[in-house]
Amino acid sequence: MWTGRTIIHVDMDCFYAAIEVREHPHLRGLPVAVGGRSSRRGVLTTANYEARKFGCRSAMPTFKALRLCPQLTVLPVRFELYRCESQRIREIFEGFTGLIEPLSLDEAYLDVSHLRSGGASVAAEIRARIFEETRLTASAGIGPNKFLAKVASDLNKPNGQFEIVPDEVDSFMTALPISKIWGVGKRTAERLQALGARTCGDLQRWGITTLTREFGKFGVELYHLCRGRDDRLVTPDRERKSVSNERTFAEDLEELGEALEKLDVILEELAVDLQLRHGGRRIAKSFVKLKFSDFQTTTAECAARALEPGAYAALLEEAWARRGRRTVRLIGAGVRFVPMGAPEQLEFPV
Please state which CATH number belongs to domain 242-337.
3.30.1490.100
Known catalytic membership, residue 20: no
At the second CATH level, the architecture of 7-13+81-166 is 2-Layer Sandwich (3.30)
What CATH class has 169-225? mainly alpha
Domain edges within the chain: 7-13+81-166, 15-79, 169-225, 242-337
pLDDT of residue 344: 59
The single-letter code of the amino acid at 71 is Q
Evaluate if residue 340 carries a pLDDT over 80: no
Distance in angstroms (rounded) separating the CA atoms of residues 83 and 60: 23
Using CB atoms within 10 Å of the CB of residue 291, give its burial: 0 to 12 exposed, 13 to 18 middle, 19+ buried. Answer: buried
Q: Is the pLDDT of residue 1 over 60?
A: no
pTM (2 d.p.) = 0.76
Report domain 15-79's class: alpha beta
Is residue 28 within 8 Å of 36, Cβ to Cβ? no
Beta bridge partners of 143: 7
Q: What distance in Å separates the CA atoms of residue 74 and residue 23, rounded to the nearest whole number? A: 14
H/E stretch holding 148 reads: helix 146-153
Catalytic residue among 20, 107, 221, 269: 107
Residue 165, C-beta contacts closer than 8 angstroms, at least 6 positions apart:
144
The Cα-based distances of 11 to 107, 142, 153, 292, 308 in angstroms read 4, 12, 7, 31, 32
Indicate if the pLDDT at residue 37 is higher than 80: no
70/306 Cα distance (integer angstroms): 36
Among 48-57, 103-112, 154-163, 230-239, name the one with the lowest average pLDDT.
230-239
Q: What is the pLDDT of residue 154?
A: 95
Taking residues 237-251, report their average pLDDT.
80
Cα 160 to Cα 320: distance, rounded to the nearest angstrom? 43
Q: What is the arithmetic mean of pLDDT over 170-176?
A: 96
Listed in sequence order, the residues at least 6 apart from 343 whose beta carbon sits closer than 8 Å to its beta carbon are none
Summarised one tens digit per residue, pLDDT across range 70-83 is 999 999 989 889 98
User: Which alpha helices (DSSP H) does 195-283 contain, by range?
Assistant: 200-203, 208-215, 217-225, 256-277
Within 8 A by CB and 6+ apart from 53, the residues are 31
pLDDT digits (tens, 9 = 90+) for 115-129: 888 999 999 999 999
Question: Would 15-79 and 169-225 be classified into the same CATH topology?
Answer: no
**Apex 312 CA angle, 37 and 325, nearest 5:** 110
Average pLDDT of the chain to the nearest whole number: 90
